[in-house]
Amino acid sequence: MSKKPTAPRPGFVLEVDRQTPPILFHHGEGFRMEKLPIGRTRVIYAPEPLRGLEDPDSAIVDALKNPIEDDPLPSLLKPGMKLTIAFDDVSLPLPPMQRPDVRQRIIEAVLDMAAEAGVDDVHLIAALALHRRMTEAELRHALGDRIYESFAPDGQLYNHDAEDPDGMVILGETKHGESVQMNKRAAESDLVIYVNINIVSMDGGWKSTATGLSGYKGVSAHHNVHTMEQSKSFMDQKKSELHKSNWRQGEVIKEHGPRIFQIETTINTNTFGETGPMSVLQKREWEWSMKDRASFTAMNTGLKAMSSANRRKVFHSWKAPYDITSVQAGEVEAVHKKTTEMVYKQHLVPVEGQTDVMTMGLPYLTPYNVNSIMNPILVMVQGLGYFFNLYKGKPLVREGGVLIMSHPTPWEFHPVHHPSYIDFFEQVLADTTNPAEIEKKYEKQFAEDEWYRHLYRTSYAYHGVHPFYMWYWGSHAMKHLGQVIIVGGDPKAVRRLGFKPATTLQDALEMAEDVVGPQPTITHYHNPPILMADVT
Amino acid sequence: MSWLKFILDKPTIPEGVEPQEQQSTTGVYYDTEWSNGKAAKVVRLFSVWGFMKPAIGLYGSPKVIGADRLDEIDGPVVFASNHHSHADTTLLLATIPAHLRRDLAIAAGADYFFGNRITSLLSTLFLGAIPIERTRLSKLSIENTESALKAGRSLLIFPEGGRSNDGWNGEHQPGAAFVAKRMGVPIVPIYIDGTGTVLPKGSNWPTRAKCAVVFGEPITIADSENPRSIAKVVERRVAELANEFSVGWWEAKKQSYRDQTPSAKRPEAGAWRRRWALGPKPSEKRHSPSQRRWPKV
């Protein structure tokens, strides 16, 4: 008899006044409570988590049997066929969700139908492109033990290997000359079923197959400085060159590739739950009860007393109680249209006008450090890549404005997951922070380095070129902004990124005035949960 | 000690923000799902055997009629009874056959039994109560009752919506019929006699008197019936059971077929005339077992 009698409230923009309590800023594996200037500051609050589907398993079966602009899945499954099921990797969702993961639910439903149809040749591939391979524990978490134990022992469940010389094929070129590359097994299959989790509007659609199952050649067609600078933003499909490029690659897949049956899901933003010790993090500050304030104080005090490794362990063990808000299956573009509607419904907040200074608290997690360390490059990509780009229309901050981020930004790297990041940070950024220059001077060398290639294929390392993509991810913001300041970060690491360090938010705001003038307008991007500003 | 001040001081609400209505955790919003657990069932079992049965035995020495009509039922049902006193619940928990009592939820007034956390906890733990709104057929009340039925629990509802002030039966609200129809479970009508004397409304301490419970045949609901007409049928059956208690099964049966069952509803008259029409107290006119005119059915 759990009850949710009130509808989730939409997001809104708060004008900070005398009565406004201190505002929560994420600060890596910790938090800051900041008093924001009165009369010229706005805080954008996300919509509350949408209600989840009451019976997700039935909704999944229904979506598979009644797909959008495609034949019902059971009619596509035949004995003797070659079936490949590809699924999103460990970078989604963030943080990882409580079991059962949506991929498990969907793939179990698909496999039930495949078993009924008598399909024997089934491969399951983690579509990780140039990300690190998923560990056994991560695969088990995403797919469940039943699937893992049925397919992994015979080598039918594995990580995509974009550097396997015999495992990749070129399907063709787009009219813009972009190569379309695909995992050979997938390309030669009679049917590829892609199982996606959509957390932001950039995910899904043709990006799933055109990027997820691709290699360096295919991915570099759009993961480059030019495309990223022209994607304003890459979260706004209509204004995203990244999106357009993936869609052009999709045309080639449609013509020369395997038949794709796309299954997309959306989840709500219930990241830290409605009850429990972390639930306070997604409440509005003036609604914190005494219990919330006490648990927040206890949590903060406890975290401060811990070593950074233990703090990381605590946060990375958190599994989000997301609810599935929609499931749609069928033709890629038609499915993605519905998915995008649902994502916008959850994330969009109308905001009037831009701001001189944008502030944000960065959490402990990006798509690229699940169970890992959030190194300085990932701090940059979270702020300038993801949060800055979570807009539709115009950027929240005006051109030449200042972005203030809060994060400890330690000079720390995960040596197994991010080996090329270490060299990128030590060598490349020591030379220049200009994305175009970096691309021209260093990308090829890192992308083709045999040692990085070896680590990507056999260990759990991100591809050698991956830190470059991260840097390009922030290129639109770097070009747009007058200055970036990191509050509470390691000054040396912050300076290496080309940003300015500040000890307190007050200092950062004073520094910002040197760039944008006195008494600037300020907008704070409040998270969690994530939101997308619809700026008019 | 700034952290202590942070915890104790309620945050101020920004001027432009409308304060959120606090979601109550009591009343109809009280979550009783935990009472489906084994531990809660054990506590209820002890409360029935350790307290309710001895207490009602001492104060009401109840006579049970028609329990055999429920022998064949094993699934969840909705019990619909007339309501005179708080002792009604105790009486029914002590007399409903064990196979249906083990998983029994009592639909209790959210305003009365779930007014605060303590009464909510006690009502749920010892009575197996679930909160419903008495004055209207609300969505949450329906959800609560349906969840209980879905969990395999039978449900006891007093469809009159509250205790009788004067000893007469009130009009049945359609809530019980609505839930039973939606969930496809039968309704068992019950007539209770004498509890209004054991613990009348407004009284805090029981007095000894004789009481009785008459269970009726389960009423199966057809898809075509609407809750209001079902409620009327249940109301009439309760009146027939009252008549069965007064005049015996056969006489009551015959009167029922002749449509001559006396109404148990209060007549349109002044308060004193309504009380007068009830005649002597039930305990005074009740037949002792040796004087029983009709065998137990």
Contact of B26 with chain A, judged by CB distance below 8 Å, is answered with no
Contact of B5 with chain A, judged by CB distance below 8 Å, is answered with no
Contact of B32 with chain A, judged by CB distance below 8 Å, is answered with yes
Contact of A286 with chain B, judged by CB distance below 8 Å, is answered with yes
Do the chains contact at B11 and A288, CB–CB below 8 Å? yes
Contact of A54 with chain B, judged by CB distance below 8 Å, is answered with no
A415 and A456, same domain (yes or no): yes
A215 and A121, same domain (yes or no): yes
Residue A189 pLDDT > 60, yes or no? Answer: yes
Task: Give the pLDDT of residue B286.
Answer: 46
A479 located within any domain:
yes
A41 and A160, same domain (yes or no): no
Which of B6, B16, B144 faces A1 most closely, judged by CB atoms?
A: B144
Name the residue in chain B with its Cα closest to that of A8: B20
Do the chains contact at B12 and A19, CB–CB below 8 Å? yes
* pLDDT band with cut points at 50, 70 and 90 for residue B280: low
Query: What's the rounded mean pLDDT across residues A395-409?
Result: 97
- C-alpha A302/C-alpha A311 separation (Å) is 9
Query: Tokens 């040749």 appear where?
Result: A121
- C-alpha A85/C-alpha A47 separation (Å) is 33
Instruction: Concatenate the DSSP letters of all residues of B88-147 into one string.
Output: HHHHHHHHS-HHHHTTEEEEEEHHHHTSSHHHHHHIIIII-EEEE-SSS--HHHHHHHHH
Are A347 and A199 in contact by the 8 Å Cβ rule? The answer is no
B chain contacts of residue A297, beta-carbon cutoff 8 Å? 3, 6-7
Given its phi and psi angles, is residue B197 left (phi above 0), alpha (psi -120 to 50 degrees) or beta?
alpha
A chain contacts of residue B20, beta-carbon cutoff 8 Å? 9, 287
- C-alpha B117/C-alpha B133 separation (Å) is 17
Picking from A101-110, A380-389, B271-280, which range would have the lowest pLDDT averaged per residue? B271-280
Which two structure tokens, joined as six digits, stand for B52? 């309710």
* pLDDT band with cut points at 50, 70 and 90 for residue B284: very low
Picking from A211-225, A513-527, B279-293, which range would have the lowest pLDDT averaged per residue? B279-293
Do the chains contact at A17 and B20, CB–CB below 8 Å? no
Task: Give the pLDDT of residue A2.
Answer: 44
Which of B16, B20, B140 faces A287 most closely, judged by CB atoms?
A: B20
Domain coverage including residue A195: 56-267
Residue B175 pLDDT > 60, yes or no? Answer: yes
Q: Strand A532-535 vs strand B78-81: parallel, antiparallel, or unpaired?
A: unpaired
The top-scoring range by mean pLDDT among A7-11, A56-60, B200-204 is A56-60
A241 and A357, same domain (yes or no): no
Give the residue among A265, A209, A205 at the shortest CA–CA distance from A84: A209
Which of B8, B15, B31 faces A1 most closely, judged by CB atoms?
A: B31
A385 and A514, same domain (yes or no): yes
Do the chains contact at B23 and A5, CB–CB below 8 Å? yes
Contact of B18 with chain A, judged by CB distance below 8 Å, is answered with no
Are A349 and A47 in contact by the 8 Å Cβ rule? The answer is yes
Please provide the size of chain A in residues.
Answer: 536
A37 and A121, same domain (yes or no): no
Percent of chain A with pLDDT over 90: 94
Give the residue among B62, B63, B108, B53 at the shortest CA–CA distance from B86: B108
Query: What's the rounded mean pLDDT across residues A57-85?
Result: 97
Task: Give the pLDDT of residue B279.
Answer: 60
Q: Say what the alpha-carbon torsion angle B162, B166, B168, B174 is, to the nearest 10 degrees.
A: -20
Task: Give the pLDDT of residue B224.
Answer: 83
Domain boundary among A207, A235, A267: A267
A333 located within any domain:
no
- C-alpha A426/C-alpha B223 separation (Å) is 76
A4 located within any domain:
no
A chain contacts of residue B23, beta-carbon cutoff 8 Å? 5-6
* pLDDT band with cut points at 50, 70 and 90 for residue B254: confident
A369 located within any domain:
yes
pTM of the predicted structure, to 2 decimals: 0.71
Query: What's the rounded mean pLDDT across residues A391-413?
Result: 97
Contact of A290 with chain B, judged by CB distance below 8 Å, is answered with yes
In b/e form, how buried is each residue of A33-61, taking b as 16+ CB within 10 angstroms?
ebebeeebbbbbbbbbbbebbeebeebbb
Task: Give the pLDDT of residue B267.
Answer: 63
Which of A1, A16, A287 faces B32 most closely, judged by CB atoms?
A: A1
Q: Which residues 6+ apart lie within 8 Å of A254 measured at CB?
A: A260
Task: Give the pLDDT of residue B290.
Answer: 45
Query: Tokens 């995509």 appear where?
Result: A160
Do the chains contact at B3 and A20, CB–CB below 8 Å? no
Give the residue among B125, B160, B139 at the shortest CA–CA distance from B36: B125
A384 and A519, same domain (yes or no): yes
The fold of B38-291 is Glycerol-3-phosphate (1)-acyltransferase (3.40.1130)
Query: What's the rounded mean pLDDT across residues A345-351?
Result: 96
Picking from A156-160, B41-45, B211-215, B279-283, which range would have the lowest pLDDT averaged per residue? B279-283
A33 and A66, same domain (yes or no): no
A298 located within any domain:
no
Give the residue among B247, B187, B242, B175 at the shortest CA–CA distance from B217: B187
Contact of A275 with chain B, judged by CB distance below 8 Å, is answered with no
The top-scoring range by mean pLDDT among A35-44, B148-157, B223-232 is A35-44
A chain contacts of residue B130, beta-carbon cutoff 8 Å? 1
A73 and A141, same domain (yes or no): yes
Q: Enumerate the β-bridge partners of residue A24.
A: A33
Do the chains contact at A20 and B140, CB–CB below 8 Å? no
Do the chains contact at A19 and B15, CB–CB below 8 Å? yes
Domain boundary among A267, A289, A321: A267
Do the chains contact at B29 and A5, CB–CB below 8 Å? yes
Other Cβ atoms closer than 10 A to A531: 23
Is the link from the previous residue into A233 a cis peptide, with omega within 30 of 0? yes
Which of B7, B19, B33 faces A290 most closely, judged by CB atoms?
A: B7
Side-chain half-sphere of A19: how many Cα atoms within 13 Å? 13
Task: Give the pLDDT of residue A389.
Answer: 96
A23 and A110, same domain (yes or no): no
Higher pLDDT, B117 or A321: A321
* pLDDT band with cut points at 50, 70 and 90 for residue A277: confident
Average pLDDT of chain A is: 95
Q: Which residues 6+ apart lie within 8 Å of A326 measured at CB?
A: A53, A59, A265, A266, A338, A339, A342
Are B132 and B109 in contact by the 8 Å Cβ rule? The answer is yes
Which of A3, A17, A301 faces B14 most closely, judged by CB atoms?
A: A17
> Total domain count for chain A?
2
A308 located within any domain:
no
B chain contacts of residue A36, beta-carbon cutoff 8 Å? none
Which stretches of A257-386 are assigned E, i.e. beta strand?
259-267, 324-330, 348-351, 355-361
Domain boundary among A217, A234, A267: A267
A1, A9, A36, A287, best to mutate vs chain B, most B CBs in 10 Å: A1
The top-scoring range by mean pLDDT among A109-118, A494-503, B186-195 is A494-503
* pLDDT band with cut points at 50, 70 and 90 for residue B209: confident
Residue A179 pLDDT > 90, yes or no? Answer: yes
Name the residue in chain B with its Cα closest to that of A297: B3
A480 located within any domain:
yes
Task: Give the pLDDT of residue B166.
Answer: 67
* pLDDT band with cut points at 50, 70 and 90 for residue B196: confident
Residue A325 pLDDT > 90, yes or no? Answer: yes
Q: Enumerate the β-bridge partners of residue A423.
A: none
Task: Give the pLDDT of residue B283.
Answer: 46
* pLDDT band with cut points at 50, 70 and 90 for residue B292: very low
Picking from A118-122, A468-472, B65-69, which range would have the lowest pLDDT averaged per residue? B65-69
- C-alpha A46/C-alpha A51 separation (Å) is 15
Q: Strand A41-45 vs strand A12-15: parallel, antiparallel, or unpaired?
A: antiparallel
A340 located within any domain:
no
The top-scoring range by mean pLDDT among A197-201, A492-496, B238-242 is A492-496
Do the chains contact at A14 and B20, CB–CB below 8 Å? no
Global ipTM:
0.80
Task: Give the pLDDT of residue B291.
Answer: 47
Residue B118 pLDDT > 90, yes or no? Answer: no
Residue B255 pLDDT > 90, yes or no? Answer: no
Do the chains contact at B3 and A301, CB–CB below 8 Å? yes
B6, B15, B133, best to mutate vs chain A, most A CBs in 10 Å: B6
A18 and A60, same domain (yes or no): no
Average pLDDT of chain B is: 82
Distance from CA of B99 to the nearest CA of A (A): 24
Which of A6, A15, A290 faces B23 most closely, judged by CB atoms?
A: A6
Picking from A68-82, A254-268, A381-395, B99-113, which range would have the lowest pLDDT averaged per residue? B99-113
A chain contacts of residue B129, beta-carbon cutoff 8 Å? none
What angle do helix axes A56-65 and A102-117 make, rounded to 10 degrees?
Answer: 50
A367 and A402, same domain (yes or no): yes
| Residue A462 main-chain phi, psi, to 5 deg | -65, 150
A chain contacts of residue B31, beta-carbon cutoff 8 Å? 1-3
* pLDDT band with cut points at 50, 70 and 90 for residue B260: confident
Query: What's the rounded mean pLDDT across residues B151-159?
Result: 91
Contact of B190 with chain A, judged by CB distance below 8 Å, is answered with no
Contact of B202 with chain A, judged by CB distance below 8 Å, is answered with no
Which of A19, A294, A297 faces B14 most closely, judged by CB atoms?
A: A19
Residue A427 pLDDT > 60, yes or no? Answer: yes
Which stretches of B194-233 are assigned E, i.e. beta strand?
212-215
